[in-house]
A and B are shown apart, each in its own frame.
Chain A
Amino acid sequence: MSISRRKFLGWLAAAGGGAVLGKSADAASNKHFTGYPGSKGVLYDSVLCIGCRNCETGCNKVNDLPAPDKPFDDLTVMDTHRRTDDKTYTVVNKYQNPNYPKSPLYRKIQCNHCLEPACASACFVRAFTKTPVGAVTYNASVCVGCRYCMIACPFEIPAYEYDSAFSPRIMKCTMCYPRISKGQLPGCVEACPTEALSFGKRDQLLKLARERIRKYPGRYVEHIYGEREMGGTSWLYLSAVPFKEIGMREDLGVTPAPELTAGVLNAVPMVVGIWPVLLTGIYAINKRNQKVADAESEAAVTVALDQAKLEAETKLSEALAKAEKEKAEAIEQEVKKALEEAAKAQEADDSDEGEEGTGETKTEEDA
Chain B
Amino acid sequence: MSEESTTTSRSYLTPFNMIAGIIIILGLIVTALRFTKGLATVTNLSDYNPWGIWIGFDLMVGVALAAGGYVTSAAVYLFGMKKYHSAVRPAILTGFLGYALVVLALHYDVGRPWRLPYPFIVQQGTTSLLFEVAACVALYLTVLFLEFSPAALEWLGLKKVRRLAIRFTLILTIFGVILSTLHQSSLGALFLIAPSKLHPLWYSSYLPIYFFISSIIAGLSMVIFEGTLAHRYYAHKMDSAHMEEKDHVALGFGKAASFVLAGYLITKVIGISAGNHWHLLGTGYGIWYLVELLGFVGLPCFLYALGVREKNLVLIRWTAVLTVIGVVLNRLNISLIAFNWHLPSSERYFPHWMEIVISAFIVTIGLVAYRFIVSRMPIFYEHPDYKESH
Binding site for B on A (CB under 8 A): 1, 3, 11, 15, 22-24, 27-28, 83-86, 118, 120-127, 142-148, 150-152, 154, 156, 158-168, 249, 251-253, 257-258, 260-261, 263-265, 268, 271-272, 275-276, 279-280, 282-283, 286-287, 289-290
The reply to whether A160 and B111 form a contact with Cβ atoms under 8 Å apart is yes
In angstroms, Cα B47 to Cα A122, docked, is 17
Identify A143's interface contact among B47, B112, B169, B195, CB under 8 A. Answer: B112
The CA-CA distance from A116 to B173 in the complex, in Å, is 39
Q: Please determine whether A121 and B128 come into contact, CB atoms closer than 8 angstroms.
A: yes
Known contacts: A163-B38, A168-B112. The answer to whether A279 contacts B78 by CB under 8 A is: yes
A148 to B171, CA, bound (A): 33
Residues of A close to B129: CB separation below 8 A: 122, 261, 264-265
Report the nearest A residue to B174, measured CB to CB.
A279
A150 touches B47 (CB 8 A): yes
Q: A147-B50, A150-B47, A168-B112 are in contact. List 11 more A-B contacts (CB 8 A).
A: A85-B47, A143-B111, A144-B113, A151-B197, A154-B197, A163-B40, A164-B38, A251-B196, A263-B205, A283-B80, A290-B80
Whether the Cβ atoms of B177 and A261 lie closer than 8 Å is no
Residues of chain A within 8 A (CB-CB) of B185 are 264
Question: Is B145 an interface position by the 8 A CB rule?
Answer: no
Would you give the 0/1 interface string for B47-61, flagging 1 where the beta carbon is closer than 8 Å to chain A? 110110000000000
Q: Which residues of A contact B377 (CB under 8 A)?
A: none
**Most chain A CB neighbours (cut-off 10 Å) among B37, B74, B181:** B181
Number of interface residues of B (CB under 8 A): 62
Nearest Cβ in chain A — how far from B171, in angstroms? Answer: 7
Partner of A276, one of B40, B174, B194: B174
Partner of A265, one of B46, B77, B110, B127: B127
Across the interface, B119 reaches (CB within 8 A) one of A124, A162, A252, namely A124
Q: What is the CA–CA distance of A263 and B116 in the complex, to the nearest angstrom?
A: 26
List 8 interface pairs A-B (beta carbons < 8 Å), by A numbering.
Answer: A24-B126, A121-B128, A143-B112, A150-B50, A162-B40, A264-B208, A282-B78, A290-B80
A145 to B177, Cβ gap below 8 A? no
Q: CA of A253 to CA of B193 in the docked complex: distance in angstroms?
A: 12
Question: B51 touching A147 by the CB < 8 A rule?
Answer: yes
CB nearest to A10 among chain B residues: B171
CB-CB contacts below 8 Å: B14-69 with A? 35-40, 43, 45-48, 50-51
Known: A264-B189, A286-B79, A289-B80. A144 touches B110 (CB 8 A): yes
Given contacts A165-B37, A261-B193, A271-B182, contact A27 B126 (CB under 8 A): yes
